[in-house]
Amino acid sequence: MSIPRLAAASVVYLRAEIPAKHPSASVLGEERMGAGVAVTPERVLTAHYLVLGASRVEVIGLDGRTRSVARFALDHESGLALLTLDGRDLDPAPLSREDARPGQPVFLVTCTGDRERRGGSGHVTSVGPFEAFWEYMLDRAIMTTIVNPGLAGGPLLDRQASVVGIVSLGLTAVGRYSLAIPVGLFAARRALLESDQPMPAGERRAWIGFYPQGNEHGVGITGVVPGGPAEQAGLQKDDWILTVDGQPVSNLRELYETLWRKRPGEPVGMQILREEVIHVFEIVAGDRYEFYK
């Protein structure tokens, strides 16, 4: 049997139901479908936004049987989620002990439905910084040439069918068709995610609840999360961020690096340009784990 066929046994289809009142429902929807990969007979690793706010999650294996999810743990910093099932009958995939590297041959296996698995192959184009507009940043994002033929959340694998990352996003830039979160981020927090303990307060980052976007002119706000700290403080769409706590910011990485020196509950000062007038705001940083629980 080929390695991709063997790897397919570890890939699961997942379906999540999210209450309409949850803060993520208006953006990500009330029903989400994705893929995941078994890392133990009873645990599945996937992209966290697929189950964010879920009241119910089901997992369907290659055998077509539905398994219920007893609990799941989210890691907003990495963008990963670990699901714990009621049973222990999945075929886990091994985790790679080596970091992905440019030029490395890789393949992915994902789902297009509860019984169908599809794959794609290519290579790693780069491993490096990635910043997104939802207050998210990776230092070593894995960029590949693979066009994902199905749902997000499935594994990126090496030639030995070991998991090197979790496929999170599809990117249209030439040579950057799929982005994967390195599995090393899971390995670093595995013990915590497998426990029933919440993320320690000291490891939680300040969260503002806005959508910043960087371009050649600086960093502008394209929207705010309803009910979040930014909206409560009076920040608005089309505002431009000049400084954070007195530090000039000209791109998303500078913004996040400065913002994440703070923790939830601490004040964050911002100079904002709005209609050619500079305004000063003090925002009390929120806790994303509490807001989206």
Only one residue has tokens 């910093």, namely 77
129 plus 163 within the same structural domain: yes
Residue 206 CB neighbours (<10 A):
25
Q: What would the 3-class secondary structure string for 199-220 be?
A: CCHHHCCCECCEEEEEECCEEE
**Which of 91, 120, 151 represents a domain boundary (last residue)?**
91
Only one residue has tokens 């590297």, namely 101
Tell me the mean pLDDT in the region 193-214: 92
81 plus 117 within the same structural domain: no
| CA dist 231 → 18, 92, 122, 276, 289 (Å) | 23, 43, 42, 20, 18
What is the C-alpha to C-alpha distance for residues 183 and 181, in angstroms, rounded to an integer? Answer: 6
CATH number at residue 20: 2.40.10.10
120 plus 178 within the same structural domain: yes
pLDDT band at 7 (very low <50, low <70, confident <90, very high): confident
Among 117, 119, 97, 94, smallest CA distance to 107 is for 119
Residue 79, by phi and psi: left (phi above 0), alpha (psi -120 to 50) or beta? left
138 plus 74 within the same structural domain: no
153-183 residue pLDDT tens: 999 999 999 999 999 987 655 556 899 999 9
Tell me the mean pLDDT in the region 269-274: 98
| CA dist 262 → 175, 208, 209, 239 (Å) | 35, 11, 14, 22
Tell me the mean pLDDT in the region 233-259: 97
Give me the chain's average pLDDT, please: 94
CB of 156 closer than 8 Å to CB of 116: no
Question: Which residue segment(s) compose the domain that 213 sits in?
Answer: 204-291
Q: For position 1, what pLDDT does the model report?
A: 42
Residue 192 lies in a domain: no
With the C-alpha atoms ordered 239, 242, 247, 250, is the resulting torsion angle positive or negative?
positive
Residues 6+ apart with CB under 8 A from 242: 218, 248, 249, 270, 271, 272, 273, 278
Q: For position 3, what pLDDT does the model report?
A: 61
Q: For position 175, what pLDDT does the model report?
A: 56
**Which of 46, 65, 91 represents a domain boundary (last residue)?**
91
Q: For position 4, what pLDDT does the model report?
A: 63
Residue 197 lies in a domain: no
85 plus 109 within the same structural domain: no
Residue 52 lies in a domain: yes
177 plus 225 within the same structural domain: no
269 vs 115, residue with greater confidence: 269
Q: Does the pLDDT of residue 285 top 60, yes or no?
A: yes
Q: What is the pTM of this model?
A: 0.94
**Lowest-pLDDT choice from 100-104, 115-119, 178-182, 239-243:** 115-119
Residue 244 lies in a domain: yes
Q: What would the 3-class secondary structure string for 6-21 be?
A: HHHCCEEEEEEECCCC
Tell me the mean pLDDT in the region 182-192: 96
Residue 198 lies in a domain: no
Tally: H helices and E strands in the chain: 6, 18
Q: For position 22, what pLDDT does the model report?
A: 97
Residue 97 lies in a domain: no
Looking at the chain, the whole-number percentage of residues with pLDDT higher than 90 is 89
Please state the domain count of the chain.
3
Strands 178-182 and 136-144: antiparallel
16-71 residue pLDDT tens: 999 999 999 999 999 999 999 999 999 999 999 999 999 999 999 999 999 999 99
Q: Does the pLDDT of residue 90 top 90, yes or no?
A: yes
